[in-house]
Amino acid sequence: MATTTKKAPKKTKPKPRAASSADAVAKLKETNAKLGLENKELRRKLQARDRDLTESLEHQTATAEVLGIISRSPTDVQPVLDAIVESAARVCGIDDVVLRLREENSFVSRAHFGPIPVPPSRVEISIDEPQYRWMREHGTLHVPDVNKWNDFQVVSAGGWRSRLTAPLRQQGKIVGILNARRTEVRPFTPAQIKLLETFADQAVIAIENVRLFKELTESLEQQTATSEILGAIASSPTDIQPVLDTIAKSAARLCDATDAQIIRLDGNGIVPVATYGALSPTHGGPIPANRESPAGRAILDRRTLHIRDLAIDVETEFPAAAVFQKRLGHRTMLATPMLREGVSIGAILIRRVEVRPFTDKQIKLLETFASQAVIAIENVRLFKEIQERNAELREALEHQTATSEVLSIISRSPTDVKPVLDAIVESAAKVCGIDDVVLRLHEGTAMISRAHFGSIPISIGRVEVSIGEPQFRWMREHGTLHVPDVQGQNEFQLGVAGGYGTFLAVPLRQQGDLVGALYAHRTEVRPFTPAQIKLLETFADQAVIAIENVRLFQELKESLERQTATSEILGVIASSPTDIQHVLNVIAENAARLCDATDAIIWRVDGSDLRRAAKYGAHSSGAIGEAWPLNRGRGWVPARAVLDRETIHVHDLLREVETEFPESKTTQQSTGARTVLVTPLLREGVSIGAIFIRRSEVRPFTEKQIALLKTFADQAVIAIENVRLFKELGER
């Protein structure tokens, strides 16, 4: 019994149980270690995601701020450029940013932020230099470390190591560069590169806006000056001096010259007759008219003379002007002859005390002033020489007054062409004694009536035209078409349904293209005089000027509206990082309003359905959240855009609903939609929805409106992605 009792405890073997417990502890420690590593990795990813999200919001806020400055500075580009370089440096952590614009063969510094000294403000360039050839072919140039860059030589005189150069492109050409530099080796991230490229695009937008504003301002100033000169001509029919004084003043002011002088041929010499500016008052007798003075050479050669630096050429080319040049100190000079029927009767010259050549526009403008001076001189000559021709004189004054009035209306109606066209047809009828005047504009293949004055019934508003018709071929090749007796000729099939006997058609030309015509009819056979024809041609030119002014204003207005809408949407995105509904509502409203659509709908992909996420407009009667199955297929317009990942533009849905889009038939019938446009919302190439706009009439959307809708689609994707990232971050 004792022996048996001693052996029993040995069989229990407690040591294996101790070993099993140790293994469990080890496994538990291993599991805890793995969990710790996973938690650490998860925290790292969340921190990285948080940094990316913060960076994205900072980038969006910076671009929104620049867009806001663009909208507030339509006439001054400098605040925009300063904001761009400062925002780029601050948001992207860049030591130094400089923005240069191209002028001929140089890059000129226009904005700089940072402590690194920039090279001289004007840097000569060569289009064959490797870095500019790279940017033309590939776009942005990123040099992570200049000391390890071997593709081509880059200068690092400022002590910088990492560099990024984003080109400013306009119509495919490099018009400037945005240089970002870091003193240490710290390459730019893809997000920073994208932001700097966005800043470069915004700089181009701002420059273009300011250019349009300046062109418009110059155009209005020129028209006002022309109106003043014509007014002076009309108010001084026997006194040429006020007209010449007005022309000299306008020439100096609008051509940005130190002074202006008008000289006349008097026998074999030239005499100053009007001046404006401090350089030389009108005085002295005639001086010889020879080629040894700039004015004499312009008169004798009957061509415009542009001297970039008179101090260099005066001794050899113009010795007669040496004394005056040394005394007055003028350097750059422009002289254009005043030609009457090909004969020089004088010249207008303008001067600058510094070396600064005149632009092509200023040269052309001075030639216009010379033409106006000739008109004024000729008018006074006619008044003094032919007193008995009072009737013709009154006619000339009426013509000038009429054109002056039209020019005044142009200056007062820069955004509405209708008052100008109405004034033109009424003035033409009254001043020229015309029974009926109609102005038509060429749109597509038709001539559309835009203004009418008279008692003769006109044909329907839209008249189809053929470029092969004799009258249009004549106007393209020869200009104004004058048919003194409609029934007495067979060359032109003009018709006599309106009961007219004499016909005149003046083409409206814009850059050589026929954009319309001014038609004048008389019920009796009474040919137009040369003066009347010239006046009607002037009216036609004024109509083209008015149309172009309104077009520029409209383009500028649309550009500002688009920028304002983009800024508003970006602001909403930044201020509503978790509320996608508010952002989509704003996008839908702007899409409908700026694309001139009846309504707009934003759809989002939800599994196998398209769900209505936002809407704007009277036709969008469905509820938010309403779903339509994607399996309706490509016969439903939004589904086709989502499935094909392409923009769909249907000019007339009613004509295609039976064949191309049968699944859209019910919607078309209930809403009456005719023209529709839908573009997909693409995130990394995957359709996540679509934005859809409609019109109740057949009126296709323009290329600008299509591009604008794609921009709204991109903004919707950005907003959706931001909200998704915020939600993911919140959940984690």
Give burial (CB, 10 Å; 0-12/13-18/19+) of 478: exposed
Secondary structure in 3-state letters for 681-707: EEECCEEEEEEEEEECCCCCCCHHHHH
- What span, in angstroms and rounded, lies between the C-alpha atoms of 151 and 144? 12
pTM: 0.38
297 pLDDT above the threshold of 60:
yes
Q: How far is CA 175 from CA 108, 206, 696, in A?
A: 11, 13, 42
Does the pLDDT at position 86 exceed 50?
yes
CA atoms within 13 A on the CB side of 50: 10
Are the CB atoms for 142 and 193 separated by under 8 Å?
Answer: yes
Q: pLDDT band at 349, cuts 50/70/90? A: very high
- The residue-averaged pLDDT of 369-393 equals 72
**Residue 66 above 70 pLDDT?**
no
Please answer whether residues 297 and 305 qualify as being in contact, where contact means their C-beta atoms are separated by less than 8 angstroms: yes
Beta strand residue intervals within 465-598, DSSP E: 481-483, 502-510, 513-522
Q: What is the mean pLDDT of residues 546-564?
A: 78
Q: Indicate the DSSP class of residue 491.
A: S
Phi-psi category of residue 294: left, alpha or beta, with phi > 0 → left and psi -120 to 50 → alpha: alpha
- In this prediction, residue 354 carries a pLDDT of 92
Predicted confidence band of residue 5 (pLDDT cuts 50, 70, 90): very low
**Mean pLDDT (the chain, rounded):** 80
What pLDDT is attached to residue 230?
66
How does DSSP assign 415-484, residue by residue?
Answer: T-SHHHHHHHHHHHHHHHT-SEEEEEEEETTEEEEEEEEESSPP--SEEE--TTSHHHHHHHHHS-EEES
Helices (H), 13-77: 15-72
Strand order in the sheet with 269-276: 287-288, 269-276, 259-266, 343-352, 332-340, 305-307
Among 463, 470, 477, 464, which Cα is nearest to 512's? 477
Beta bridge mates, 468: none
What pLDDT digit, counting tens, does each position of 636-694 carry?
889 999 999 999 999 999 999 888 888 888 888 888 889 999 999 999 899 999 999 99
Query: 555 vs 451, which has greater pLDDT?
Result: 451
Cα separation, 95 vs 584, whole angstroms: 37
**On the CB side of 182, how many CA atoms lie within 13 Å of its CA?**
21
Structure-model confidence comparison of residues 413 and 332, the more confident one: 332
pLDDT for residue 133: 82
pLDDT at position 489 = 80
**pLDDT 10s digits, 8-44:** 555 555 555 555 678 887 887 777 777 777 777 666 6
pLDDT in tens, 155-190: 655 677 888 989 988 888 888 888 888 889 989 988
Looking at the predicted structure, is the pLDDT value of residue 99 above 50?
yes
Residues paired with 617 in a beta bridge: 599
1 burial via Cβ count (<10 Å: 0-12, 13-18, 19+): exposed
Any bridge partners for residue 452, and if so which?
438
Beta-bridge mates of residue 261: 275, 349
204-233 confidence digits (pLDDT tens) = 888 888 777 777 666 666 667 666 766 666
Give the pLDDT mean for 370-381.
Answer: 83
Q: Which of 46, 167, 158, 48 is nearest to 100 (CA)?
A: 167
Beta strands (DSSP E) in 148-208 are 162-170, 173-182
pLDDT band at 77 (very low <50, low <70, confident <90, very high): confident
Does the structure show a pLDDT above 70 at 47? Answer: no
